[in-house]
């Protein structure tokens, strides 16, 4: 099937949609004309640049991992976005961002509340603070008249989420929620195919989020999200993306949800005999434990973004020493069986949407590799994908059509960035929304994002024993 046939197959699905048809070009065509790297880079730059007359100005509240990702958009596209203020209680991160973006001293703040006390100094704020610091900063920023790019989860409770939505609507403000998967070319292409009717009537979706064993240990046993009460339950902290993507692909409200799951392994009872409090205290299991901090951080060099100011990779010894220092003083060096963690390591949800469409979702810690996997079942065909490529099979013709991020010229240069390119896509659409004062330029504004959050809160109630939950 050539590109033209494929686009024809998708019919009028794109009329009026923001999705550019080039994002769904099928790979069979591309193989005959492999993209030139320079061309792909130039096309990606063009695809990711916001269409604004002047740079949208932002203050970043929280200059950690996520704050840096959104600030990086301003570095790449200075004509579209400018970082004019920063707040972080971590001096190193604050100064690093201030230097990178030439932020004047009067716009460098410690606690987020100092930035709010300074009044409105930009078009928008980016709230990339920990989960328990979304509600208050967001409400106060809205009160000042800011538009907001708000990291997920929106807030820690259903009532706070509703209050943010209502305040945004009262103020006529744009609140973009960082449900980044919606902006990944892979999911955009998958959704376009479902909407086109190419697989007939949608009947069911199976979706899997493999957290991956070391990522689970890093984030949800030792790391920032190990305590569901201090942050949010894992179904929101990790998987609000997945519920959101399911709701978005189905295109209809969820009517009911039932969930199961538990913390099965990372518990005190499973602590091996003789295990020490920290992996580097001479633990006799260090060499064989897959969750060894020495192995994950020092030998494998994974998840090092949480450690500030590490020597460069070339300075191997100094770098390892500095990481080991962090392992002595932070939770990241502690035994995974000796934490005060409570997040489930396996979680399954069954959902029924309007018109009888069903979906199942599994979040699994114990998998070797990450990368969401999705199967979509329609009356005339199926889609099967792993976040890099998917194959659509048509029952009538027997034909299989492949979409592969690495062979679609316009996305090849950025699909390997965070969340399949979704991080950059969201930054572009948020800048467009603020620049044109048009929330419709975002596919995940606060009103839309509320639905999947409510699904998450309902799932957690169900998992905790309250049975099947009805929504809406």
Ligand X SMILES: NC(=O)c1ccc[n+]([C@@H]2O[C@H](COP(=O)([O-])OP(=O)(O)OC[C@H]3O[C@@H](n4cnc5c(N)ncnc54)[C@H](O)[C@@H]3O)[C@@H](O)[C@H]2O)c1
Q: Which residues bind ligand X (CB under 6 A)?
A: 62-67, 87-90, 93, 111-112, 128-131, 133, 151-152, 178, 180, 224, 237, 419
What is the DSSP annotation of 327-390?
HHHSGGGB-TTSS-----SEEEEEEEEGGG-EEEEEEES--S----EEEEEESSEEEEE-SSEE
Classify residue 100 as exposed, middle or buried by CB count within 10 Å of its CB (0-12, 13-18, 19+): middle
* Radius of gyration for the alpha carbons in the chain, expressed in angstroms and rounded: 23
CB of 416 to ligand X, least distance (A): 16
* Minimum distance of ligand X from residue 423's CB (angstroms): 7
Q: Kindly state the smallest distance separating residue 151's Cβ from ligand X, in Å.
A: 3
3-state secondary structure 170-232: HHCCCEEECCHHHHCHHHHHHHHHHHHCCCCCEEEEEEEEECCHHHHHHHHHHCCCCCCCCCC
| Residue indicated by tokens 């963690």 | 341
Nearer to ligand X by Cβ, of 218 and 319: the residue is 218
Closer Cβ to ligand X, 88 or 410, answer by number: 88
Cβ-based nearer residue to ligand X, 195 or 460: 460
Residue 169: both structure tokens together: 């609507």
CA 95 to CA 118: how far, in whole Å? 18
- Which residue is closest to ligand X by CB? 64
Residue 282, classified by CB atoms within 10 Å of its CB into exposed (0-12), middle (13-18) or buried (19+), is exposed
Q: Which DSSP state fits 441?
A: G
- Name which of 165 and 215 has its Cβ closer to ligand X: 215
Beta carbon of residue 375, minimum distance to ligand X (angstroms, whole number): 23
Give 330 or 360: the residue with its C-beta nearer to ligand X: 330
Q: How far is the CB of 319 from ligand X (least distance, A)?
A: 20
Shortest distance, CB of residue 427 to ligand X, whole angstroms?
11
Nearest to ligand X of 24, 365 (CB atom): 365
Question: CB of residue 113 vs ligand X: minimum separation in angstroms?
Answer: 7
Rounded distance, CA 71 to CA 137, Å? 19
Q: Which is nearer to ligand X, 129 or 202 (CB)?
A: 129
């Amino acid at each position: 099937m050539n590109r033209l046939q494929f686009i024809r197959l998708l019919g009028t699905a794109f009329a009026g949609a923001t999705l550019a048809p080039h994002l769904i070009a099928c790979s069979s065509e591309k193989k005959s004309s492999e993209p030139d790297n320079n061309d792909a880079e130039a096309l990606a730059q063009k695809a990711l640049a916001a269409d604004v007359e002047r740079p949208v100005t932002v203050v970043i509240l929280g200059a950690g991992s996520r704050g840096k990702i959104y600030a990086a958009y301003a570095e790449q596209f200075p004509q579209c976005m400018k970082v004019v203020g920063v707040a972080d209680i971590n001096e190193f991160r604050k100064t690093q961002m201030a230097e990178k973006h030439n932020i004047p001293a009067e716009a460098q703040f410690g606690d987020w509340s100092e930035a709010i006390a300074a009044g409105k100094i930009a078009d928008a704020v980016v709230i990339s603070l920990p989960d328990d610091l979304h509600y208050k900063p967001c409400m106060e920023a809205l009160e000042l008249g800011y538009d907001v790019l708000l990291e997920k989860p929106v807030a820690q409770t259903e009532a706070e989420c509703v209050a943010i939505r209502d305040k945004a609507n009262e103020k006529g403000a744009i609140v973009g929620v960082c449900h980044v998967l919606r902006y990944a070319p892979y999911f955009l292409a998958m959704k376009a195919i479902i909407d086109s009717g190419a697989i007939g009537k949608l009947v069911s979706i199976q979706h899997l989020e493999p957290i991956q064993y070391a990522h689970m240990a890093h984030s949800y046993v030792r790391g920032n999200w190990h305590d569901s009460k201090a942050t949010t339950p894992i179904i929101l902290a990790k998987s609000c993306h997945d519920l959101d993507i399911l709701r978005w692909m189905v295109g209809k409200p969820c009517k009911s949800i039932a969930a199961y799951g538990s913390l099965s392994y990372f518990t005190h009872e499973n602590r091996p005999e003789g295990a020490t409090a920290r992996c580097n205290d001479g633990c006799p299991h260090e060499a064989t434990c897959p969750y060894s901090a020495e192995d994950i951080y020092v030998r494998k060099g994974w998840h090092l973004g949480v450690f500030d100011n590490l020597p460069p990779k070339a300075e191997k010894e100094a770098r390892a020493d500095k990481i080991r220092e962090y392992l002595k003083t932070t939770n990241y060096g502690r035994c995974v069986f000796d934490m005060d963690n409570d997040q489930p390591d396996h979680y399954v949800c069954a959902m029924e949407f309007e018109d009888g469409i069903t979906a199942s979702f599994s979040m699994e810690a114990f998998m070797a590799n990450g990368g969401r996997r999705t199967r979509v079942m329609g009356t005339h065909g199926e889609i099967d994908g792993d976040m890099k490529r998917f194959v659509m099979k048509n029952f009538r013709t027997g034909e299989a059509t492949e979409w592969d991020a690495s062979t679609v010229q316009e996305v090849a240069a950025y699909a390997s960035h965070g969340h399949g390119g979704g991080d950059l896509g969201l930054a572009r659409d948020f800048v467009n929304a603020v620049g044109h004062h048009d929330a419709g330029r975002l596919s995940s504004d606060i009103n839309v994002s509320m639905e999947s959050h409510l699904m998450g809160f309902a799932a957690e109630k169900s998992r905790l024993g309250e049975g099947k939950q009805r929504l809406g």
